[in-house]
Structure 1
Amino acid sequence: MVAKSPIRHSITGAGPPVVLLHGLFGSGGNLGALARSLAETYTVFSLDLPNHGRSEWLEEATLARLAGAVLKWMDQEKLISTAFVGHSLGGKVAMEIALSSPQRCATAVIADIAPVSYSPHHDSVFAALDAVVSGGVKSRGEAAQIMSEYLKEEGVIQFLLMSLQRAPDGSYGWRFNLQGIKDDYQAVRAGPDVERPFERPVLFIKGGDSDYILPEHTERVLQLFPAAQVKVMLDCGHWLHAQQPALFNSIVGRFLERQYLT
């Protein structure tokens, strides 16, 4: 009997499977525009990673544990192998699967993240999220106002507010496991510790204005993914899939057509 996966998902389209993995603080719907674009050709699975969305919470959510949860979900759905598209944290999880279980990954698109360790850079986000909880907000507008004291980018505030939910008693809280994410923050910032390279083609898409993929990361990328290709989306930051969705969807679609369908 296959163990029950902690992951919840939505599904659309028909054809070869493609699994979409969102970033930190997100949920499966974040890549909704891409899912709709790919659904004409593929069966698209949009996952809520553990500790996010409507998936269950894990006591420990390292990259290895998150990858293991996705593999357990694949067993549950009887997916032997699939293509992955992952943004940010989702890209790290996809890379972890490709490196540790290459037979389960046909190919992958990694959006604006590299297989390296990152320094902490979400202090203001955590402060804003904590302030909403401690402030006992009674509306989304009140939550947005509190968050604006810590975060200057309106797009980031609106992204985070997608995970704000109202409880039956009228109070508001975060759908994701805020404390769990804080506890495991160092672990998910780490790079993969698997040294066996993934030999099949992988596409890295960099936001031209983002500092998540830098020239000094090239050596590590090619060590682990020797057949890697890199595309740069100009005038985009880290949220490239939301800033230029048509271009992002086109790049992903063309790569999958060449490397996955043929």
Structure 2
Amino acid sequence: MTAEPAQLHAQHVGETGETVVFLHGLFGQGKNFTQIAKALTPDLQSVLIDLPNHGDSEWTETFDYIEQADLVAEHLRSTVASDGPVHLVGHSMGGKVAMVLALRHPELISSLAVVDISPVARESMGEFDHLIGSLSRLDLAELSSRGEADELLQEPIPERIVRGFLLQSLVRDGEGFRWRVNLDLLHESLPQIGGFPEFTEETFEGPVLWIAGAESDYVQDDFAPAMRALFPRVSLTTIKDAGHWVHAEKPEVFSAVLKAFFTAD
């Protein structure tokens, strides 16, 4: 008996203009892009998707980029892309899902923005192993508030923006708290999350914007040949003074870059 596909939760922002679909990164959720989506209105409307094992979308038993991309593709095909292709933005893990989706379902995507990630396997996921470990060590049964959680995480995760981003997934559940991310599955799947499927023949021929944070190492010159092989029309934009969480660190610049790209003739 085949399991039913996981159901995806999506939030809509705006009512006019062409549609932009956002896919968040590891530990994220669609609403991480709410500020960006509002900045794109009224020129563009947005759909903010919670990927499986995140936000209000269902959890799965395994992690696989092709399965996730196909799941998002079916959601788009039955909703916002039913009348024609949409623009797609993906950050980090969501950027890998977005790239796989564009390669496997190019008819659904008119243009693609890949944010601070590359179509290569990352040798080390130690940073994310540390983050998941820090979150898992919080005793949710003893937690009195999200503010207390923030205090407890200050030593292992000193970056305020990163803590705030992660704690968006900590929600009240009755008198206690719970995580809206599937920490156990994501932890055991870090090698798969750090990897990238092999594509030998597929290419996406639409326009692609590759956005890098200047202070991040997820986009490197050495990765450019792999990117160009899959996405021949790629162009690179680097946002200075930004790290991996580009949209959270430089939201005004990020929004302006996206709007210029998606509204270009």
Task: Normalising by structure 1, report the TM-score.
Answer: 0.92
Q: In the comparison of the two structures, how many residue pairs are matched?
A: 256
Contact 2:77-2:108 within 8 A present in 1 as well: no
C-alpha distance in 2 between matches for 1:45 and 1:203: 19
C-alpha distance in 2 between matches for 1:124 and 1:135: 21
Match of 1:221 in 2: 227
Which of the residues 66, 74, 77 maps onto 1:75?
Answer: 77
Shift of 1:43: 2.7
Look up the SS of the partner of 1:219 in the other structure.
helix
Match of 1:113 in 2: 117
C-alpha distance in 1 between matches for 2:77 and 2:228: 30
Which of the residues 55, 63, 66 maps onto 2:68?
Answer: 66
1:1-262 matched pairs, under 5 angstroms: 6-13=7-14, 14-77=16-79, 79-80=81-82, 81-118=85-122, 119-121=124-126, 122-133=128-139, 136-168=142-174, 170-195=175-200, 196-258=202-264, 262=265
Aligned-pair identity in percent equals 34
C-alpha distance in 2 between matches for 1:192 and 1:256: 27
Look up the SS of the partner of 1:83 in the other structure.
strand
Shift of 1:103: 1.3
Look up the SS of the partner of 1:132 in the other structure.
coil
C-alpha distance in 1 between matches for 2:256 and 2:147: 35
Contact 1:15-1:43 within 8 A present in 2 as well: yes
Amino acid at match of 2:189: D
Contact 1:4-1:76 within 8 A present in 2 as well: no
Amino acid at match of 2:142: G
Q: Which runs of 5+ in 2 are unaligned?
A: none
Task: Normalising by structure 2, report the TM-score.
Answer: 0.91
Q: Which runs of 5+ in 1 are unaligned?
A: none
Contact 1:111-1:206 within 8 A present in 2 as well: yes
RMSD: 1.7
C-alpha distance in 1 between matches for 2:206 and 2:37: 23
Look up the SS of the partner of 2:138 in the other structure.
helix
